[in-house]
Amino acid sequence: MTGRILRVLLVDDHVVVREGLKTLINNETDLQVVGEATDGREVRELAAQLRPDVVVMDVSLPHMNGIDATRKLKEAFPAIKIIALSAYEDRIYIRRMMEAGATGYVLKRSASAELLRALRLVASGALYLDSEAARRLEGLMGTPAAGATKAPDLTPRETEVLRLIAWGFSNKEIAARLGITVKTVETHRARSMEKLDLQSRAAIVRLAIEQGWLQDPV
């Protein structure tokens, strides 16, 4: 992402919040707000028109919540990165947004610098949780939960592919990072999901949380 302006789409039903975010982001030379949505249902159409690099998504939205909107947006545009910006601090919301496809979670009460840092890191392929969100997930990360699915039967490459999927990378991005074809990525994904009886990306993210895969940078 270095060398070009990151395109940002804001999704929040409060005009005061959007105006504040737009001013904050547009004051940065490498960031630009290219569109705004007030409703979770508008996001997919706007994303198709504007092709943002990152979507800043409120969790609480009218008509379609941010979790469902995130899931639908990632299904349609896997390469778009999504940051949840939320007043909700309960780890269930953090976990559900990550399972839906978000790779960033920033609390609205956090300093503005947190969001700017999150935008740049998520756009570059990293996962970003602000300090409070990370603290609330500590109990879920690093230590497998009781009854959690184990992953010892995976090959190192299958583990690597699943971990990158959990971090929000598309098949094309994974192929480029690992120096393999998209078809090979799809094969590793299908085999590992079959081995562990995983039915969705949400299940992959749950596994990643249980195995502590999201703690280490990719």
CATH of the domain at 55: 3.40.50.2300
Number of domain units in the chain: 2
Can you give the pTM of this predicted structure? Answer: 0.72
- Identity of the residue numbered 57: M
Give per-residue pLDDT as tens, 103-123.
Answer: 899 998 887 888 999 999 899
More confident residue, 75 or 209: 75
Tell me, yes or no, whether 165 and 113 share the same domain. Answer: no
The CATH number given to whatever domain includes residue 170 is 1.10.10.10
Look at residue 145 and tell me if it is in a domain: no
Residue 191 is part of which domain span?
A: 156-211
In a domain, 38, yes or no: yes
Other CB atoms within 10 A of residue 42 CB: 18
Cβ(48)–Cβ(74) below 8 Å: no
Tell me which of 109 and 19 has the higher pLDDT.
19
Where does a domain end: 92, 107, 137? 137
SS (H, E, C) 145-188: CCCCCCCCCCCHHHHHHHHHHHCCCCHHHHHHHHCCCHHHHHHH
Query: Does the pLDDT of residue 50 top 80, yes or no?
Result: yes
CB count, 10 Å around CB of 177? 15
Q: Is the per-residue pLDDT at 39 higher than 50?
A: yes
Q: Say if residue 41 is in the same domain as residue 96.
A: yes
